[in-house]
Amino acid sequence: MLGRTANSLFWMFRYLERAENTARLLDAGLRMALTRDSVSAEEEWRSVIETAGHRRGYEAKNATYTGMQAWNYILRDKDSSASVLNTFQQIRSNAREARSAITSEVWEAVNDSWLQIKDMLARPVGEQRVGEVLTAVRRAGTLAHGAVLGSMLREEGFHFARAGTFIERADNIARIMDIKYYLLLPSLSYVGSSMDTGQWDMVLRSVSGDSAYRWLNAGQIDARGIVSFLVLDERFPRSLAYSHAALRENLAALARIHGIEGTSNELMRESDIRLSGLSIEDVFDKGLHKFLTDFTAANSSIAQAIGQDYRFLA
Amino acid sequence: MAAGEFFDEMHKPDGSVRDAYSGYQAWYGEQEKSFLKRKHRDAEHAFRRTGITFNVYGEDEAEERLIPFDMVPRIITAHEWRKLTKGIEQRVSALNAFMHDLYHRQEIIRAGRVPEHLFRNNSAWLPHMVGFTPPGGIYTHIVGIDLVRTGPDEFFVLEDNARTPSGVSYMLENRETMMAMFPELFMRVPVESVSNYPRRLAKSLAACAPDCAEGKPVVAVLTPGIFNSAYFEHAFLAEQMGAELVEGRDLRVVDGRVAMRTTWGYKPIDVIYRRVDDEFLDPLSFNPDSVLGVPGIMDVYRAGRVTIANAPGTGVADDKAIYSFMPEIVEFYTGEKPLLPNVQTWRCSDPDSLAYVLDNLSELVVKEVHGSGGYGMLIGPAANKRELSDFAAKLRANPEGYIAQPTLALSTCPIFTNRGLAPRHLDLRPFVLVSPDKVDITPGGLTRVAMKPGSLVVNSSQGGGTKDTWVLKD
């Protein structure tokens, strides 16, 4: 496969994952705002904008934080390259570049979603529509991943698509946790203090992990449990451990196909050594923030190395 | 002009249905109007989903448009098709021989059958090709012959597209769409399949591989990129052929071969099906600003170590002044009279012809010699006084730049409208593959249809649409 095509596949799925995670984050914010008074609601939207990495762009255009402004900015601001609309533009444009390397099913799933979402985001999104827009964005990911799993050859292209997905997922989740880590920390030092469990719920919701967590922990909510779940639980498909394992598997498959290991495999192994046998105590001893920063840095060096190993660029 | 003046592909003058359409008519008569209207609406949605769009330059946000699709097929009998293919084969073989001659001994010019100035002044003529024979001796690997019909047995060639004919993806997708919408129709009417075109194309291109190709030749489609108006077609053909879809930035000359940057490293290509114009192919030989091409590819080509389809310099054959000599060209190289006639053509470079054209401008169609896509042409009967006098001035100023043809009574075929069937003018572009082994014509083609009543312009850039084209089985 062409290096350029591999690059397009990789980024097509990174952007898809990013759009999906943004939708989850907005969904959680929406829910929080609905259950709060207006002062904490404003605080909540500020946090959502911050987490999505939009603060600078948003504040250049808005003096206050309201839900309507926040979700419209994140969803459809034309000047923000990270808006969901522009992210979808990127997804489709990469899909077009890689058109000859994806199946018609994958292409149609992405193209259909693009047509639908472009249409939905053509005008400002009011309270009545925001829910359906977020559902459509999440469903775009579900449809595309379903089409990939059900129709693509287990060849290079498949593994580039999957590697892109899990690199991005790990990055997004680590970032969401890092922005919220200060909420989780106090309860570790002040055992028994009355923490705002709504905030924890928000963290879980923004990675769609609330019901999985409840199911596994019989409703017991505590900071240690949540961090352990999001970082270490390999059963949860949006945990760091799961994303990391899935990435490892796809990089190993690429090395197998090519008959040679590259820098990406080497970095992956180093990262594995750091994470293997890690307990939640180790994470807190090191400091959650430090742990997450290191993790994100390692994750992006692996992404870089994939591009170099497989000649994404000339 | 009254309706009766045009040949109707579906109906005889007495209103009964021609043989070719009897099976279709029987089916059509049984369908509920509401069902057909619903399908008519569905078709657009289907095309938008599959992404068969073309980009329109200069519009906001690189807007993608759909070419209108009409769901009434254009039907050709097996007998008619056999006759057409013989004529097309003859014409395409002559074109290829003409190209070889033009870039070698120029016998046809020595024999005084074609004037030398015709191609000396032609910007598509490439000195780089002189004395060089492409692998397999093939210049015109893929040709689209534009045909028009004026009567039961009257087919004329309107244009030869020997540079980079486009539209074949519509031939394929129109059929897919029809089969998805009306499966039962295809169970009742036996239609020749077109779906193996990509396989035929892959085979034909592989048969033109250079000698240095080892094992199964590596074929790649070279596209200018996603902003090109025909990008969809490039990607579609690459996917269907199982070939790589490459851009200039993926390619480089490595060890005397053209190679593409794969995830494994640079890998040599044997055959390049290029959808990039000559002048952008090689910044070292042609346009130095081109970023669409590959520096040094022409040297590799002239060393016989890559096949470029179609061969650089074949654009000469698309010239409408050359077209006017096609009857002589066919006869010169095949020793036979042309089976498919040209449309009568006046070369305005000739003073007597120019005088005639100026006197009869309101009845003629005047085209730029190097123009294409329906741009820059005058349709006399549809023009007002001012347009006529403006065009006459252009003609006088640059007579060599134009040819004129009578306004053809293009045949009509019904299209589906919400008020029922209505006749529209159309043409036909069959796609022809040429290799040392054979001339291969897929039974079908691109039927372009004017969507406006009475309009004779079928070009998609001017609002024309397309139809599925059926060749019936015997």
| Alpha carbon distance B34, A223 (integer Å) | 62
Predicted confidence at residue A190, as pLDDT, reads 46
Closest residue on chain A to B260 (Cα): A2
Percent of chain B with pLDDT over 70: 95
| Residue B418 main-chain phi, psi, to 5 deg | -65, -15
3-state secondary structure of B114: coil
User: In the predicted model, is pLDDT for residue A37 greater than 80?
Assistant: no
**What is the per-residue DSSP string for B316-354?**
GGG-HHHHTTHHHHHHHHHSS--SSPBPP-EETTSHHHH
Q: What's the whole-number mean pLDDT along residues B64-88?
A: 93
Cα torsion A117, A120, A125, A128: sign: negative
Q: Which residues of A touch B239 (CB under 8 A)?
A: 99-100
Window from A182-196, B66-80, B140-154 with minimum mean pLDDT: A182-196
Place of tokens 């929080």: A32
Predicted confidence at residue B57, as pLDDT, reads 47
Query: Residues A188, A200: contact at Cβ < 8 Å?
Result: no
| Alpha carbon distance A21, B355 (integer Å) | 72
Place of tokens 């590959």: B294
Predicted confidence at residue B371, as pLDDT, reads 62
Query: Residues B347, B324: contact at Cβ < 8 Å?
Result: yes
| Alpha carbon distance A170, A166 (integer Å) | 6
| Alpha carbon distance B468, B242 (integer Å) | 25
CB-based contacts of A225: which residues, under 8 Å, 6+ apart?
A213, A217
Q: What is the token pair recorded at A13?
A: 């799925």
Query: Residues A183, A200: contact at Cβ < 8 Å?
Result: yes
CB A1 to CB B263 under 8 A? Answer: yes
Minimal Cβ distance to A96: which of B226, B247, B262: B226
Ranges of H-type helices in B68-152: 78-102, 107-110, 117-120
Window from A130-144, A221-235, B89-103, B234-248 with minimum mean pLDDT: A221-235
Q: What is the token pair recorded at B370?
A: 């190097």
| Alpha carbon distance B181, B185 (integer Å) | 9
Q: Is the peptide bond before B121 cis (omega within 30 degrees of 0)?
A: no
CB-based contacts of B254: which residues, under 8 Å, 6+ apart?
B266, B268
Give the model's confidence band at B67: pLDDT under 50 very low, under 70 low, under 90 confident, else very high: confident
Q: What's the whole-number mean pLDDT along residues A263-271?
A: 96
Window from A107-121, B35-49, B249-263, B416-430 with minimum mean pLDDT: B35-49
User: In the predicted model, is pLDDT for residue B188 greater than 50?
Assistant: yes
Q: What's the whole-number mean pLDDT along residues B333-359?
A: 95
| Alpha carbon distance B257, B248 (integer Å) | 14
**CB A78: neighbour CB atoms within 10 A?**
8
pLDDT digit string (tens) for B418-428? 888 999 999 99
Q: What's the whole-number mean pLDDT along residues B250-276?
A: 97
Query: Residues B414, B423: contact at Cβ < 8 Å?
Result: yes
CB A100 to CB B247 under 8 A? Answer: no
User: In the predicted model, is pLDDT for residue B439 greater than 70?
Assistant: yes
In one-letter notation, the amino acid at residue A148 is: V
Query: Residues B403, B346: contact at Cβ < 8 Å?
Result: yes
Give contacts of A 149-188 with B, CB under 8 A. Answer: 156
- Confirm whether the ipTM is greater than 0.85: yes
3-state secondary structure of B474: coil
Mutate to test the interface with B, among A100, A108, A111, A160 (most CBs of B within 10 A): A100
Ranges of H-type helices in B31-77: 33-50
Query: Residues B367, B405: contact at Cβ < 8 Å?
Result: yes
Beta partners for B308? B272
Query: Residues A76, A83: contact at Cβ < 8 Å?
Result: yes
Minimal Cβ distance to B264: which of A108, A258, A314: A258
For B197-295, strand residue ranges (E) read 219-222, 244-246, 251-254, 257-262, 265-268, 271-274
Predicted confidence at residue A218, as pLDDT, reads 77
Minimal Cβ distance to B261: which of A104, A108, A314: A314
User: In the predicted model, is pLDDT for residue A193 greater than 50?
Assistant: no
In one-letter notation, the amino acid at residue B262 is: T
The mean pLDDT of chain A is 91
Mutate to test the interface with A, among B247, B263, B272 (most CBs of A within 10 A): B263
Query: Residues B382, B364: contact at Cβ < 8 Å?
Result: no
Query: Residues B340, B90: contact at Cβ < 8 Å?
Result: yes
User: In the predicted model, is pLDDT for residue A210 greater than 90?
Assistant: no
- What's the length of chain A? 314
Q: Is A105 on the interface with B (CB under 8 A)?
A: no
Query: Residues B437, B401: contact at Cβ < 8 Å?
Result: no
Give contacts of A 192-221 with B, CB under 8 A. Answer: none
Predicted confidence at residue A34, as pLDDT, reads 82
User: In the predicted model, is pLDDT for residue A185 greater than 80?
Assistant: no
Q: Is A314 on the interface with B (CB under 8 A)?
A: yes
Half-sphere exposure of A136 (CA within 13 A, CB side): 21
| DSSP H/E element including B402 | strand B402-406
Q: What is the token pair recorded at B252?
A: 């480089």
Q: What's the whole-number mean pLDDT along residues A97-116?
A: 94
Beta partners for B65? B54
3-state secondary structure of B224: coil
Region of A83 on the Ramachandran plot (φ > 0 left; ψ -120 to 50 alpha; else beta): beta
Q: Which residues of B touch A258 (CB under 8 A)?
A: 263-264
Q: What's the whole-number mean pLDDT along residues A93-120?
A: 94
| Alpha carbon distance B458, B406 (integer Å) | 16
Q: What's the whole-number mean pLDDT along residues B122-136?
A: 92
Q: What is the token pair recorded at A45?
A: 């939207």
Beta partners for B432? B143, B441
User: In the predicted model, is pLDDT for residue A12 greater than 80?
Assistant: yes
pLDDT digit string (tens) for B366-381? 998 876 555 678 888 8
Nearest to B221, CA basis, from B162, B271, B264, B280: B271
| DSSP H/E element including A2 | none
Nearest to A198, CA basis, from A43, A53, A4, A79: A43
Give the model's confidence band at B468: pLDDT under 50 very low, under 70 low, under 90 confident, else very high: very high
3-state secondary structure of B313: coil
| DSSP H/E element including B286 | none
Predicted confidence at residue B59, as pLDDT, reads 41
Its pTM stands at 0.90
CB-based contacts of B464: which residues, under 8 Å, 6+ apart?
B67, B68, B448, B449, B450, B451, B457, B458
Rounded to the nearest 10 degrees, what angle do helices A127-151 and A156-184 cross at? 140
pLDDT digit string (tens) for B445-462? 999 999 999 888 888 877
Q: Is A5 on the interface with B (CB under 8 A)?
A: yes
Query: Residues B231, A278: contact at Cβ < 8 Å?
Result: no
Place of tokens 């240095």: B212
